[in-house]
Amino acid sequence: MNARTAEAAARIGRLRHRRAARFTGVCTVLALVALAALVLSLTVGDIEVPLTDVLAVLTGRGDAGTWFIVGELRLPRALLALLVGCCFGLSGAVFQALLRNPLASPDVIGVSSGASAGAVLSSMAFGLSGLAMSGAALAGALLAGTAIYLLAWRGGVSGGRFVLIGIGVGTGLISLRSYLMTRAEATEAANAFVWLTGSLNGRSWDQFWPLLGCALVLVPLTLAASRGLGALQLGDDAAGGLGARVEHSRLALLASATALVGVATAAAGPIGFVAFVSPPIARRLVPGQGAALVPSALTGAALVCLADFAAQHLLPHTQLPVGVVTSIVGAPYLLWLLARANRVGRGG
Which comes out higher in pLDDT, residue 239 or 303? 303
Read off the pLDDT of residues 54-83 as tens digits, 9 standing for 90 and up. Answer: 888 888 887 888 889 998 889 999 999 999
Residue 2 has pLDDT above 90, yes or no: no
Query: Is 169 domain-assigned?
Result: yes
In this structure, are residues 198 and 142 in contact, taking their beta carbons and an 8 Å threshold?
A: no
Query: Is 2 domain-assigned?
Result: no
Rounded CA-CA distance 316/114 in Å is 34
- E strands present in 178-287: none
Q: What are phi and psi of 157, to 5 degrees?
A: -120, 120
- Angle of helix 75-99 versus helix 274-285 axis, rounded to 10: 70
Residue (of 166, 154, 101, 109) closest to 346 by Cα position:
101
How many domains, in total, are found in the chain?
A: 1
Tell me the average pLDDT across 39-50.
89
Query: Is 77 domain-assigned?
Result: yes
CA distances from 84 to 64, 94, 341 (A): 28, 16, 29
- The range of the structural domain enclosing residue 27 comes to 12-344
Q: For 86-105, b where at least 16 C-beta lie within 10 A, e where not — what string? A: bbbbbbbbbbbbbbebbbbb
CA 276 to chain centroid: 8
Query: Is 3 domain-assigned?
Result: no
Length of the chain: 348
Tell me the average pLDDT across 223-252.
73
Does this model's pTM top 0.85? My answer is: yes
Least confident of 33-37, 55-59, 217-221: 55-59
Angle at the Cα of 217 from the Cα atoms of 216 and 219, rounded to 5 degrees? 75
Residue 348 has a pLDDT of 42
CA distances from 285 to 24, 68, 86, 230, 253 (A): 11, 38, 17, 19, 23
Rounded CA-CA distance 147/143 in Å is 6
Residue 13 has pLDDT above 80, yes or no: no
Query: Is 311 domain-assigned?
Result: yes
Residue 200 has pLDDT above 70, yes or no: yes
Residue 347 has pLDDT above 50, yes or no: no
Query: Is 263 domain-assigned?
Result: yes
Which comes out higher in pLDDT, residue 149 or 7? 149
Q: What is the 3-state secondary structure (H, E, C) of 304-319?
A: HHHHHHHHHHCECCEC
Query: Is 4 domain-assigned?
Result: no
Residue 264 is part of a domain; what is its CATH number? 1.10.3470.10
Computed on alpha carbons and rounded to an integer, the radius of gyration of the chain in Å comes to 21
